[in-house]
A = this chain, B = another copy of it.
Amino acid sequence: MSQLTIEDIARIAGVSRSTVSRVLNGQPNVRPSVRDRVQEVINSYGYAPQAAARQLVMRKTRLIGLILPDNAHHLFGNPIFAEIARGVSQVCAQRGYTPMLFIGRQDMNEATFFSLLRGRHFDGVILISSDRQDRSAAMLREAGMPYVRVGHDPEDDGDLQYVDVDNVAAARVAVEHLIALGHRRIAMLKGLAKDVCTHARLEGYRQALAAAGLPFDEALVGDGDWTPASGYAWTRRFLDLPEPPTALFSSNDMMVAGVVRAVQERGLTVPDDLAIVGFDDLLQTTMIFPELTTIRQPCVEMGTCAAELLLDQLEHNRRERVQIILPTALIIRQSCGYCRQAVQASASAPAVSGEEQRAG
């Protein structure tokens, strides 16, 4: 039976609960011979303390919740979440915590979600979301749950600690690269409007155009939704324009898959007929369309940073404001056309944009 309690183990080993507890938690002050005997019993019965009982007295679960934008397939659909989760997981394991991905929020009402938070299942939460409609940040605060956010909304200063990249600067670098290559009609594929980074990347696009004295043309901006399907649909529209773009900046790599399909379908080629820069640098995209020039996001590092911030917050009661902006990099491949000058240009305007800054 798995109904064994610490009491049972104690009886079998011929000691008291206290001693078993000490062995369990690696405390000193146990005679080696006794420790060995107790450990022996523990192992042979496969005993492990019941989490709930321990949590009740410890007031800690050593569980970290991972919360993603409200929609599960969206979540899985984009591999960057997996990368971030990987970073979180590494740090958690290293420091003795267990990360749990919270799924099924879309099948649950707000009150239930809130109760779950208040139930103190988790010591802390890492919220991966740049969705400004997402109420989870506010609920986390209301529930008094320590959390660190990956991505954030500059207009909502409620997030005490967050990790993000400089989306404006990154997008600007991407578009500047295209401009440096001589492109003057550059299309832009946006992500979903609810995500803050969508607007930031658009802003970077605008800034790059403005700096080069190029006009901002509404007709060249497509309302994507992060999926290949939207990339496909918008590219067709762009190519149908009286004066079609010669280059395109996509707010993420996934949409590029659709872009490429639309281009090829017309008998056109990348980069000759349409130069492309993406965003994310997904491994998966690399496999489907290997020569994509793109902005690399340090996903794993965003995860490790967030986790370290959170665990420090929990263990040392750090409650200061901390904002970490991680650097991105322009990865130049062939989807913009090989061009030595361009590489040099982007070297003078450094390929790595953004800067890490820790505000105490």
Contacts from A to B (Cβ < 8 Å) = 1-2, 46-53, 55-56, 61, 63, 66, 72-73, 75-77, 79, 81-83, 85-86, 88-90, 92-94, 98-104, 106-108, 114-121, 142-144, 227-229, 232, 257-258, 261, 264, 284, 287-289
Contacts and interface: CB of A to CB of B under 8 A. Distances in A.
A104 B76 contact: no
B86 A73 contact: yes
Nearest to A80: B76
Nearest to A121: B51
Contacts of A228: 284, 287-288
Contacts of A116: 98
Contact of A2 (B52, B101, B144): B144
Contacts of A120: 50-52
| A121, A258, A261 interface centre (most CB from chain B within 10 Å) | A121
A117 B49 CA distance: 10
Nearest to A254: B284
13 contacts: A48-B114, A50-B56, A50-B119, A51-B55, A56-B56, A72-B82, A72-B86, A76-B76, A76-B81, A76-B85, A85-B104, A89-B106, A261-B289
Chain A interface mostly:
helix
10 cross-chain pairs, A with B, having the tightest CB-CB distances, nearest first: A76-B82, A48-B118, A89-B104, A93-B107, A52-B55, A51-B119, A101-B101, A2-B144, A48-B115, A229-B287
A264 B287 CA distance: 14
Nearest to A300: B73
A52 B108 CA distance: 21
A88 B46 CA distance: 30
A103 B100 CA distance: 6
Contacts of A46: 114, 118, 142-143
A310 to B, nearest CB: 14
B52 A56 contact: yes
A149 B144 CA distance: 37
B103 A66 contact: yes
A307 to B, nearest CB: 10
Given A98-B116, A101-B102, A258-B288, 11 more contacts: A50-B119, A73-B79, A73-B82, A73-B86, A93-B107, A99-B103, A99-B104, A100-B100, A228-B284, A232-B287, A257-B287
B107 A48 contact: no
A288 B261 contact: yes
Given A48-B115, A114-B46, A120-B51, A82 B75 contact: yes
Contact of A56 (B53, B90, B100, B232): B53
B83 A93 contact: no
B89 A103 contact: yes
| A53, A79, A93, A287 interface centre (most CB from chain B within 10 Å) | A287
Nearest to A145: B2
A100 B107 CA distance: 13
A66 B68 CA distance: 16
Contacts of A264: 264
Given A48-B115, A103-B101, A258 B232 contact: no
Contacts of A92: 104, 107
Nearest to A142: B46
A336 B76 CA distance: 29
